[in-house]
Amino acid sequence: MPHEQYDDCWLRYERVADGARREAYRRRCRHAYVAEKSPESSAVRDELRRAVPGLLDEDVHLWQHPPTTADGFLAVGTPDDMAMIAESVPVGEVEDLADGGYLLRSVEWEGQDCLVVTAPTDRGLVYGTFHLLRLMATGEPIDDLDVWEEPAYDNRLINHWDCPFRGTVERGYGGESIFDFDRLPDLRDRYEDYARLLASVGVNGVVVNNVNTDYYPRETTTEAAQTFDGWRLLESRRLEDLTSLASVFRRYGIRLYLSVNFAAPERIGDLDTFDPLDEDVRAWWRQKVDEVYDLIPDFGGFLVKADSEGQPGPYNYDRDHVEGANAIAQALEPHGGRVWWRAFVYGSHEDRAVQAYDTFEPLDGEFADNVTVQIKNGPIDFQPREPVSTLFGAMPETDVGLELQITGEYTGQGVHATYHLPMWKEVLDFDTHADGEGSPVKSFFRGSGEGVVGVGSVGEDHSWTGHYLAQSNLYAFGRAAWDPDCDAEAVTREWATQTFGADDDVVETVVEILHDSWEACIDYETGGLGLMHMMHNGEEYLENHYYPSPEEWPGYHGASEGGIGVDRTSTGSGYAAQYRDPVAERYESPETCPEKFLLFFHHLPWDYELADGTTVVQRLYDNCFDGVEEVERLRDRWTELEGRIDERRFRHVAERFEEQVAQAERWRDVLTETFRDYSGIPDERGRVPEP
């Protein structure tokens, strides 16, 4: 049942409106048997108890033993669990499925209409059950159901940036952290509901604490910081507390992971070094990992941010990233654990874009088999739009993972409605030509140690994400991580229908708003053409990244009297050459470079003419104004839904849209005046005041 203190998101399980369809569901789901043999199967039973009464307006009869006959029933289990399943589906088909895969099939057994959810693993039964409930919640037919599904990637992780013992979330726009680490092992209902949300879209791993394990205000003393630093989760008493949290996620097929500080042997282990080649350090990691697995046998592994933004790392001892990652990996390897080692590093190059490739590509093939190099989708930092990272396809002998940002750090945070799935699809579908034509980014994460990671977005807010429409990004991440070939509009429609009901006009309006929101954000926050980092950084450690302030990051936009953009070609930083041809060749020339990335790769005169004859500066003016007009249009489209959805969510989103329009206007005015001041060229349509 819903918890009044927070929203049920897409797991609302509201009554199926179509009476004939509802009766068809009842024929196959009035009775159910779920083999009770594991935490996952227990979770399936609980989910059916929640869902079926809401969807069908009728309780489900959950059998305690496999029925020999019944007036239509749903069977959930492996072929070994009951004769009906083994006799209704080819066992070989089920056994061939990957871990997490499942089969849904409408069958006739003992003369009755029945339904089978089966899988080779209990985790697959969880995912299969949620798939069936999604079909029912969206009104899809199940009379001739025949679904065979397995995840594209073995690892589909959420990285929380929650700061333990402080209750805060870095880049968190949905309120305080949902995790109360000081009160563990006591559990909250919210933990289970969060696990349900993740499992319903196929997520199978959660890193519960911030990669910035040293995250605290810069003026805070080290002694004071130790009262809340995330690296303290590795202390023995904290690990014992985490066992209860791991048990909640385990029921839904989700493994627990921790972010760890590379200097932990010194900070927690009382060593006077954390040199990865020191045998005492390596022994400390082995002892600590053994302790973790004694408490949490299915523990997933460690996420490490090293030598980046002040975090300690192997560079402290003149070691490289291979030596650093492998020292921890050797401790995890006997337990099947994995190191996720972030490739987000910068500092030695004037242009941040070239750093990750220059650092990691030469190390290809040297990382341990249980190390995954975790690569951000672009070379800078989760900007509204970036070209894809050149590391994709450049490390064929290394397990790699794609890191995406679900939370809206640079896309309006918890205020602006900005849908990320179109952005992610642009990245996933991009052809790198690393193995010749037809080498899209999405093809590089299919190994057993590879996958897709999303920076989390949830918090204590009633909406979970700070904005009801931002729930769509969490949903879309899971669906795209499960199937990167998914149809973006179909996924969005799924979410809208489950979240707002089956009213076609409401669903179509929400889908339209979401799919048009990303390009609008790009236009008013950057002016388009590949510009980025136009925002305020702030004086505090908790950077703002919300208000416009192009003067703070001049190196990223390169504006001068003579032009705008950054030269990343052979005459500049050389980033374009890190791609394989023909991509590198395409980006090298302004005549062939896609307009959406033109100023990322080229510094061009303000009056440089684009393909349609418009000058660069005029296109920037036009994009900024177009972005505001589009947000105004989307706001008006939302206003049309008044009275057709509940007042709480309608009013919340309407208020957010008013703020978004105001902020979009602010961005437009600051950026266009900046472009005018540098260029000295007026807006030909007279919208930008003369200096």
Q: How far apart are CA 490 and CA 511, in angstroms?
A: 9
The kind and range of the H/E element at 399 are strand 399-405
Q: Please tell me which residue in 150, 162, 351, 409 is annotated as part of the active site.
A: 409
Per-residue b or e along 29-57, where b marks 16 or more CB atoms closer than 10 Å to that residue's CB: bbbbbbbeebebbebbbebbebbbebbbe
Q: Looking at the chain, how many residues does it have?
A: 691
Task: State the pairing for strand pair 451-455/155-159.
Answer: parallel
Q: How far apart are CA 597 and CA 585, in angstroms?
A: 14
Q: Do residues 5 and 192 lie in contact, with contact meaning Cβ atoms separated by under 8 Å?
A: no
Q: How far apart are CA 420 and CA 479, in angstroms?
A: 12
Q: How far apart are CA 286 and CA 270, in angstroms?
A: 15
Check residue 416 and report its DSSP letter.
S
Q: How far apart are CA 598 and CA 619, in angstroms?
A: 12
Q: Do residues 464 and 458 lie in contact, with contact meaning Cβ atoms separated by under 8 Å?
A: yes
Name the β-bridge partners of 74.
Answer: 32, 115
Tokens of 495: 């979410």
Quote the distance between the C-alpha of residue 74 and its chain's center: 33
Q: How far apart are CA 168 and CA 255, in angstroms?
A: 23
487 is catalytic: no
Q: Please tell me which residue in 18, 95, 309, 540 is annotated as part of the active site.
A: 309
Residues 6+ apart with CB under 8 A from 140: none
309 is catalytic: yes
Name the β-bridge partners of 454.
Answer: 158, 404
Instruction: Please tell me the number of Cα atoms within 13 Å of 169 on its side-chain side.
Output: 29
508 is catalytic: no
Check residue 232 and report its DSSP letter.
G
Q: Please tell me which residue in 154, 180, 381, 483 is annotated as part of the active site.
A: 381
3-state secondary structure of 326: helix
Q: How far apart are CA 431 and CA 581, in angstroms?
A: 11
Check residue 397 and report its DSSP letter.
T
Name the residues annotated as catalytic.
Answer: 309, 381, 409
